[in-house]
Amino acid sequence: MRDAMGDLDAIAGRHVLVTGAGSGIGASVARRLGRAGARVTLAGRREAPLRAVAADLPDGAAHVVAGFDVTDPQAIADGLAGARAAFGPVSILVNNAGAAETAPFGRTSLAQWQSVIAVDLTSVFLVTQAVLPDLEAGGAGGRIVNIASTAGLVGYRYVSAYCAAKHGVIGLTRSLALELARTGITVNAICPGYTDTPLVREAIAAIIAKTGRTEAEVLAEMTAGNPQRRLVDPDEMAETVAWVVSPGAASINGQAIAVAGGEVMVG
């Protein structure tokens, strides 16, 4: 039976690795692809959230890799060894793990800068390089999806390291897409605007505590740049990823796709 996305039935049985899969966008992506029949490796640092997501997937569809530090090459190698033992070579990679810190540029420490760059940019290099032999051996149909941000398309105040990292993710996406174009492997970035994730909810709570403003006031300010005046739903991101990894999206390559209600329009 064909999936509502068109040809997601072709994903059935394929091995998907999702980093940062314990919550937010990563969890939604894992659930969506698991429902399409994929075998999903859920990678992240903490085991309990990963187990909770695994419980939502069909029996036998999930493999949990806790302690998966995307900044540590050895942790990546160890996690991949277990994932391959469980489900075979990876054929779809979703680089979702990320972090953000806010501070005026002048008060951003070198440690903060290096931490954000490591988690949000260097991790994409490390995990992709580790998985790439699987994708190349599998031939046409391999997919790399990097969860970037609208911060990778425009500038935002007080998150200079995050903006720099996400711009870097998009640049890496485009470069690798060109390198792999003749192989049939596609590489794309999905760029959410402010999304209703635990990370954003924590940011809202911190702003409320610091300023005394109401949740409605903070939400209104946060969503002011989105013409739809709302947070993006993580499931909307998952549907976009599902389309990009489907066989019907084979010509979508090297793109930075904004999922932000019209906040960013680029030609």
| CA 9 from centre of chain | 22
Radius of gyration of the chain (CA): 18
Q: Tell me, yes or no, whether 244 and 215 share the same domain.
A: no
Q: Hunting for tokens 């953000």 — which residue is that?
A: 100
- Whether 218 and 254 map to the same domain: the answer is no
Query: Is 158 marked active-site?
Result: no
Looking at the fold, whether 24 and 53 belong to one and the same domain comes out as yes
User: Of 156, 158, 162, 194, which residue is the catalytic one?
Assistant: 162
Task: Tell whether 240 is covered by a domain.
Answer: yes
Within this chain, do residues 52 and 179 fall inside the same structural domain, yes or no? yes
Residue 143 belongs to some domain of the structure = yes
Q: Which domain holds residue 80?
A: 8-193+233-258
Whether the CB-CB separation of 18 and 42 falls below 8 Å is answered with yes
Judgement on whether residues 217 and 93 belong to the same structural domain of the protein: no
Query: Mind listing the pLDDT tens digit of every residue in the chain (267 residues)?
Result: 344 444 667 899 999 999 999 999 999 999 999 999 999 999 999 999 999 999 999 999 999 999 999 999 999 999 999 999 999 999 999 999 999 888 899 999 999 999 999 999 999 999 999 999 999 999 889 999 999 999 999 999 999 999 999 999 999 999 999 999 999 999 999 999 888 888 788 888 888 888 899 988 888 888 888 888 889 899 999 999 999 999 999 999 999 999 988 888 764
Q: Report the distance separating Cα 183 and Cα 91, nearest Å.
A: 13
Mention every residue, 6+ apart, whose C-beta is less than 8 A from residue 267.
none
